[in-house]
């Protein structure tokens, strides 16, 4: 979202996080703007039994946990490193000044918030469908349309079956079974455990580093 060199010039600092490490918890007070430099971060909610609902899988270059920076409320979800990651963080007071000094950046964040809110409406609508395959197909189509969590080179879906289950409120066994049926119909391709969009993706994947 924001150029890293510019963030550093404003006093931002790097933070290394190990796989499984919590960056902030749901309900915590927000003090920083966070942006992912490398690795992978998941943004999720948990119920009293520990069941996870995945809100977003953050990719390098994206920000996360930005809602409290705009409304002053606590974090709405917990951010956890899915793998060893590097984040850059900027104090909230400096971030607010950044938005005041650069209206175009403020507009970009407004657009991002709108996109993420629209995604929540999309997920809630899809949960009304009883058929697991319909939920999964709609999610994959949405990710493709928005170039998110999908490799643009080969069409590999960068979500595990468990993460898809956590996004669609399905059991992972249900997701595995549904995706197997989708593969048999040629709607997706499964190669060595990896899932691709379309039946030509495995050929392309041989040349794709992702």
Residues 116-175: tens digit of each pLDDT: 999 889 888 888 876 899 899 889 888 888 888 888 888 899 999 999 999 998 999 999
Q: What is the pLDDT of residue 210?
A: 61
Q: What is the pLDDT of residue 66?
A: 93
- H-helix or E-strand containing 63? strand 63-64
Burial class of residue 27 (count of CB atoms within 10 Å of its CB; 0-12, 13-18, 19+): exposed
Average pLDDT score, the chain: 90
Q: What is the pLDDT of residue 67?
A: 92
C-alpha neighbours within 13 Å on the C-beta side of residue 172:
10
What's this model's pTM, rounded to 2 decimal places? 0.82
pLDDT band at 205 (very low <50, low <70, confident <90, very high): very low
pLDDT band at 207 (very low <50, low <70, confident <90, very high): low
Instruction: Return the higher-pLDDT residue of 203 and 72.
Output: 72
**Is 204's pLDDT higher than 50?**
no
All domains in the chain, ordered by first residue: 4-123 (2.60.120.10), 131-205 (1.10.10.10)
Say which range, 110-114, 173-177, 205-209, has the weakest mean pLDDT: 205-209
CB atoms under 10 Å from CB of 54, counted, come to 20
pLDDT band at 200 (very low <50, low <70, confident <90, very high): very low
Span 70-97, average pLDDT: 96
Sign of the alpha-carbon torsion through 105, 111, 114, 118:
negative
What's the CA angle centered on 40, arms 127 and 125, to 5 degrees?
10
**Is 56's pLDDT higher than 60?**
yes
Q: Where are the alpha helices (DSSP H) in the chain?
A: 4-9, 67-71, 92-101, 103-126, 132-145, 161-168, 172-184, 201-205
């Amino acid at each position: 979202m924001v150029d890293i060199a510019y963030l550093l010039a404003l006093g931002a600092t790097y933070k290394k996080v190990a796989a499984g490490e919590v960056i902030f918890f749901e309900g915590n007070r927000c003090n920083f703007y966070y942006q992912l430099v490398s690795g992978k971060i998941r943004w999720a909610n948990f119920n009293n039994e520990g069941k996870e609902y995945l809100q977003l899988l953050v990719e390098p270059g994206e920000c996360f946990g930005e809602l409290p920076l705009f409304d002053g409320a606590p974090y709405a979800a917990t951010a956890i490193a899915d793998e060893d990651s590097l984040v850059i963080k900027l104090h909230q007071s400096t971030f607010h000044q950044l938005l005041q000094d650069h209206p175009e950046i403020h507009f970009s964040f407004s657009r991002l918030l709108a996109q993420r809110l629209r995604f929540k409406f999309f997920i809630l609508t899809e949960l009304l469908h009883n058929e697991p395959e319909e939920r999964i197909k709609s999610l994959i189509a949405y990710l493709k349309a928005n170039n998110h969590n999908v490799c643009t080179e080969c069409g590999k879906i960068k979500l595990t079956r468990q993460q898809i289950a956590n996004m669609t409120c399905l059991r992972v066994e249900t997701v595995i079974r549904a995706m197997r049926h989708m593969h048999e119909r040629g709607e997706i391709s499964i190669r060595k455990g990896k899932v691709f969009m379309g039946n030509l993706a495995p050929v392309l994947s041989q040349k794709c580093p992702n």
